[in-house]
A and B are shown apart, each in its own frame.
Chain A
């Protein structure tokens, strides 16, 4: 099955049709998507600002990572579920929209980077990672997540 035929299948599914046919569903789901955006932004920023040296300096980074992790995972789940629902309602339009693909690639990179490189740096013992590298990692993380946000916003302009 090609990617396009899968997208078409999503769009023609009962879920896709229900969301498309309703006046309320799309905006309501999108509102949840936005609320998730705020929380995921907060969770990402608390750890990354700390790594950049603009955050809660007196707190150990591993502690902040562990404290914010449930909120990161929770909001990411809300984002993925609500995003998937929004996607089914207009999948073929998205297939031809470059912003959608920019967003998906950024999302993949940001998620992978966060749970591998960033996680490792955040959980490393103090002094194990040079400040230059932990700052670089934080900056890359912020840029990748921003790419997801900008790509997402850009889907709305076509």
Chain B
């Protein structure tokens, strides 16, 4: 309610949400690209992951908090928005992808840490992550449009 009525609150939180893309997604993309074997080939995957993941986790925390606040400002309208639903679905899928990656091939990273091009499973996780997060950004941007809104 306060957010909904404030002139500055919503834009500021939305700006933080969008600009944290650089911190969270930018660094996650860099890790995904390393997993795909297309950048930082001479850097061990463990070092890219070890040094970048704390930042992406911090960025993700900011994303979730600001995202929840934005949702909380107009919950019903957002819930009825098709793009919001697509975004949540993609978020869940991205979560599953990350969990599977960390529980399987990531555990055996010592075997492929120094490979310029990681094994297929790792590349698959990197590629899926890029595609899903790309979809999340696009869907997130589209929440601003209510082309397909269902009437409450």
Contacts and interface: CB of A to CB of B under 8 A. Distances in A.
Contact of B48 (A41, A56, A149): A56
Interface stretch (A2-10, A28-36, A90-98, A113-121): A28-36
B122 interface: no
A44 B137 CA distance: 19
Contacts of A41: 21-23, 25-27
Contacts of B114: none
Prevailing SS type, chain B contact patch = helix
A67 B25 contact: no
B22 A31 contact: no
A40 interface: yes
Q: Give the bracket for the number of chain A residues in contact with chain B.
A: 35 or more
Given A27-B142, A71-B39, A44 B22 contact: yes
Nearest to B42: A63
Given A41-B26, A57-B51, 13 more contacts: A37-B18, A37-B26, A41-B22, A42-B22, A42-B27, A45-B22, A49-B55, A54-B55, A56-B43, A59-B42, A67-B39, A67-B42, A68-B30
Contacts of A37: 18, 21-22, 26
Given A63-B42, A153-B15, A42 B26 contact: yes
B129 to A, nearest CB: 12
Prevailing SS type, chain A contact patch = helix
B21 A34 contact: yes
Contacts of A132: none
B95 interface: no
Interface of B: 11, 14-15, 18-19, 21-23, 25-30, 33, 39-43, 47-48, 51-52, 55, 133-134, 137-138, 141-142, 144-145, 147
Contacts of B142: 27, 31
A101 interface: no
B20 to A, nearest CB: 9
B141 A40 contact: no
A149 B16 CA distance: 10
B109 to A, nearest CB: 16
B47 A56 contact: yes
Contacts of B39: 67-68, 70-71
